[in-house]
């Protein structure tokens, strides 16, 4: 057996050699936590601990397989195969199969994946005669999933006042009943979903003391990777299993806790020292990944969080280049800058495509980068999602636009003729297609005379209404530009409303993607061509441009030499020589939904920390002075996170960004974008933007002398209110749960803003 302790630094060795008692290994980014965890397990076995008495839990199968392989290599034997090592779900499924009869399940119970679970929910919604467009399976599934991960069973769900109020507010009061029926249906089918593997494990240990005692004594040593990502159910199960021996080792980094939307809670790692007596804490602060310049920025950023375990990353690597801060005029310019920078770095420093990663806050941001990379013929690969123009909602919307321009496009007709649902079912569509083929007519010709296909009554009426809608759009082609026509299509078809009403995480992302598509069309109609002349703003011209982009050769799956595009969440655990962290703007990063709660804002800052620490050699931080949002050109303030970076760590020399001056916190307020002076049209637009910002800055609201904030619970849609900073406005919409209500308020002269009601001070105007 090799000398497995050789090559460990002092802190790593200390973590490995501590055998008995609770230990928390705070592993900073790039500090070799996987090496420490696997070496620690090998050390336990070398000290005589039976592999069958060791439980190691991870979050990915890849991590579990890698750990087993490393341990086998260290020990030089196959004894590691006897370890209980795997993901929470795989290990608990193994235990549940052995103990299934205790819970009334067969030992060979089925495990439903997400699609299976949603299918069952859809059947239940249908059986209950509910509208599955309102009780969307994805939304209901997410509510049930969140309940299980919070250890809330169907009975408790239906009896909890706060939960019922949240469902009532969303106008979905029967989710509790669906949850109850879903649980019974799964039990009847002898099936568990992914969340059940945690929830049923918890029930098994709490309801059967003999089973709990059995596994408490079997697992004398418990190790948990990425402890900061655990949720309430995982926390409680670990507490119970480790209660006898308390030989619990958790490895994680509170600074990388970024999954609260999945139920993870950073408090699990922050309170670990309170859960066990005589906890040993080892901090791994030596970073083996990044340059010191990158770590200086990461350390400074994360130090702003109040709720954290203090640590200071350092490295013996070279100092490295300063972080490059880049401001562009628009989001499309941001995409072009990144593509140009990649091209230059490849030529000058001999990097390959695979050495670059573009990290953004939301998937909708990928569009401008995809377009620019394609124009530069740079191979790229999108992670954590499909290409922007390949996403279903984008293809659905473009299908409408394409049939308005070309009614012979049968494939796109079939795609959207009944989406959103308009009572034109598959049977009717099949009849129309058969009639078109038999009579040698186009699908559109038959649609205009549905009786040709034998349609009568309600089916014929539905088809006629659809035809009238498309014909109405066609009358606008000559008189309306691409954006105005597209906006009308989105509104009258009900497609935008369909996505807006889906309040699930996935639904929100789809809605944001549609808005991003509309933004790109709006910019198309308002931006001159490369010669400075006004371009053809028609819908046909826009679709031709998009077709050239979307019909480009697709990247080969086996081609690994590609620029990586992904959200920061998807990038966690990865590393790249060169990283572009883009879109650092207020209301985007940090998200507008996180600005009124310290815990949410600190998670956004941790997300920025994760993005920074993905970079090994070079890091760019970019943001756009303006971007289209919801069809309007919005002026952006730089992210507050940029202002938290000391100027000595930044390189702004080649971007035209001046040093900070008094009265301009970020030193960016009066920049006239000198790097764009060579393009007169862009320079004019830049000047116009600055003029608009100057006018806006002069408008200051003075609160009323009798200003006194009202109880947030009294605020509702339609009310006129006063805000101390934004002035007078009207509440257009209220959404969210009891404790996180968010209002959309249209303020006079300020536009629409989203306000977290529990933290905003608003006066109701009589």
Distance CA 332, CA 374 (A): 13
| Upstream peptide bond of 420 is cis (omega within 30 degrees of 0) | yes
Distance CA 401, CA 543 (A): 8
Q: Which two tokens stand for residue 473?
A: 């759009």
Asked whether 138 and 504 are in contact (CB, 8 A), the reply is: yes
Which positions ≥6 away from 375 have C-beta within 8 Å?
339
Q: Which residues are annotated as catalytic?
A: 33-34, 225-226, 256, 614
Distance CA 597, CA 608 (A): 17
Which positions ≥6 away from 195 have C-beta within 8 Å?
144, 145, 148, 149
Distance CA 731, CA 720 (A): 6
Element (H, E) at 57: strand 54-58
Asked whether 203 and 192 are in contact (CB, 8 A), the reply is: no
- Which of left, alpha, beta for 754 (phi over 0: left; psi -120 to 50: alpha)? beta
Q: Which two tokens stand for residue 33?
A: 């936590």
If one counts every other C-beta atom within 10 angstroms of the C-beta of residue 633, the result is 17
Which positions ≥6 away from 224 have C-beta within 8 Å?
56, 57, 230, 238, 248, 249, 250, 251, 252
Distance CA 689, CA 673 (A): 11
Distance CA 393, CA 420 (A): 11
Distance CA 654, CA 326 (A): 8
| Upstream peptide bond of 67 is cis (omega within 30 degrees of 0) | no
Distance CA 339, CA 372 (A): 6
- Which of left, alpha, beta for 72 (phi over 0: left; psi -120 to 50: alpha)? alpha
Distance CA 469, CA 461 (A): 12
């Amino acid at each position: 057996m090799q000398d497995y302790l050789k090559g460990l630094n002092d802190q790593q060795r200390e973590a490995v050699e501590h055998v008995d008692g609770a230990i928390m290994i705070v592993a900073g980014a790039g500090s070799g936590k996987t090496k420490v965890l696997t070496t620690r397990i090998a050390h336990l076995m070398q000290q005589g601990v039976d592999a069958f008495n060791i439980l190691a839990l991870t979050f990915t199968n890849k991590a579990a397989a890698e750990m087993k392989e490393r341990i086998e290599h260290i020990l030089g034997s196959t004894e590691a195969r006897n370890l209980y090592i795997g993901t929470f779900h795989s290990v608990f499924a193994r235990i549940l199969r052995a103990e299934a009869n205790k819970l009334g399940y067969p030992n060979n119970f089925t495990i439903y994946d997400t699609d299976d679970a949603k299918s069952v929910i859809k059947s239940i919604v249908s059986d209950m005669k509910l509208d599955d467009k309102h009780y969307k399976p994805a939304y209901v599934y997410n509510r049930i999933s969140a309940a299980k991960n919070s250890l809330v069973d169907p009975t408790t769900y239906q009896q909890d006042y706060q939960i019922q109020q949240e469902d009532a507010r969303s106008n979905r009061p029967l989710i509790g009943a669906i949850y109850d029926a879903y649980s019974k249906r799964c039990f009847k089918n002898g099936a568990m979903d992914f969340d059940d593997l945690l929830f049923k494990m918890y029930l098994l240990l709490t309801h059967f003391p003999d089973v709990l005692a059995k596994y408490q004594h079997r697992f004398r040593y418990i190790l948990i990777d990425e402890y900061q990502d655990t949720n309430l159910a995982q926390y409680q199960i670990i507490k119970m299993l480790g209660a006898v021996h308390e030989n619990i080792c958790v490895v994680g980094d509170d600074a990388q806790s970024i999954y609260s939307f999945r139920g993870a809670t950073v408090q699990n790692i922050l309170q670990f020292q309170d859960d066990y007596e005589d906890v040993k804490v080892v901090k791994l602060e030596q970073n083996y990944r990044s340059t010191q310049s990158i770590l200086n920025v990461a350390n400074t950023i994360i130090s702003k969080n109040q709720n954290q375990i203090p640590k200071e990353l350092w490295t013996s690597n070279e100092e490295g280049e300063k972080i490059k801060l880049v401001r562009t005029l628009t989001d499309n310019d941001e995409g072009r800058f990144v593509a140009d920078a990649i091209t230059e770095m490849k030529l000058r420093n001999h990097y390959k495509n695979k050495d670059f990663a573009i990290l953004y806050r939301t998937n909708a941001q990928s569009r401008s980068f995809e377009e620019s990379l394609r124009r530069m013929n740079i191979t790229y690969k999108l992670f954590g999602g499909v290409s922007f123009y390949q996403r279903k909602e984008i293809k659905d919307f473009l299908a409408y636009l394409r049939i308005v321009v070309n009614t012979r496009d049968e494939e796109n007709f079939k795609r959207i003729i009944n989406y959103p649902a308009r009572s034109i079912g598959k049977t009717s569509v099949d009849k129309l297609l058969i009639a078109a083929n038999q009579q040698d007519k186009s699908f559109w010709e038959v649609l205009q005379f549905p009786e040709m296909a034998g349609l009568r009554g309600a089916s014929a009426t539905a088809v006629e209404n659809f035809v009238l809608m498309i014909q109405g759009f066609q009358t606008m082609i000559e008189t309306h530009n691409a954006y105005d026509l597209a906006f009308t299509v989105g509104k009258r078809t009900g497609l935008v409303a369909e996505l807006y009403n889906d309040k699930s995480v996935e639904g929100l992302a789809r809605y944001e993607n549609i808005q991003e598509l509309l933004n790109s069309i709006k910019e198309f109609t308002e931006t001159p061509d490369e010669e400075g002349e006004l371009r053809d703003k028609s819908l046909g011209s826009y679709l031709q441009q998009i077709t050239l982009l979307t019909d480009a050769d697709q990247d080969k799956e086996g081609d690994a030499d590609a620029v990586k595009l992904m959200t920061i969440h998807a990038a966690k655990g990865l590393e790249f020589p060169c990283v572009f962290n883009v879109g650092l703007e207020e209301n985007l990063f940090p998200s507008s939904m996180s600005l009124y709660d310290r815990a949410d804002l600190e998670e956004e800052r941790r997300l920025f920390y994760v993005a920074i620490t993905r970079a090994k050699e070079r890091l760019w931080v970019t943001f756009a002075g303006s971007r289209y949002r919801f069809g309007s050109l919005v002026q952006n303030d730089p992210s507050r996170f940029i202002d938290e970076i000391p100027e000595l760590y930044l390189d702004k020399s080649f971007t035209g960004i001046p040093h900070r001056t008094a009265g301009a916190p970020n030193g960016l307020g009066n920049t006239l974008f000198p790097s764009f002076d060579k393009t007169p049209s862009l320079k004019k637009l830049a000047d116009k933007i600055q003029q608009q910002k100057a006018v806006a800055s002069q408008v200051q609201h003075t609160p009323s002398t009798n200003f006194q904030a009202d109880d947030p619970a009294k605020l509702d849609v339609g009310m006129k209110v006063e805000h101390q900073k934004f002035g007078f406005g009207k509440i257009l919409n209220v959404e969210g749960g009891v404790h996180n209500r968010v209002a959309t308020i249209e303020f006079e002269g300020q536009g629409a803003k989203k306000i977290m009601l529990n933290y905003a001070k608003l006066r109701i105007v009589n």
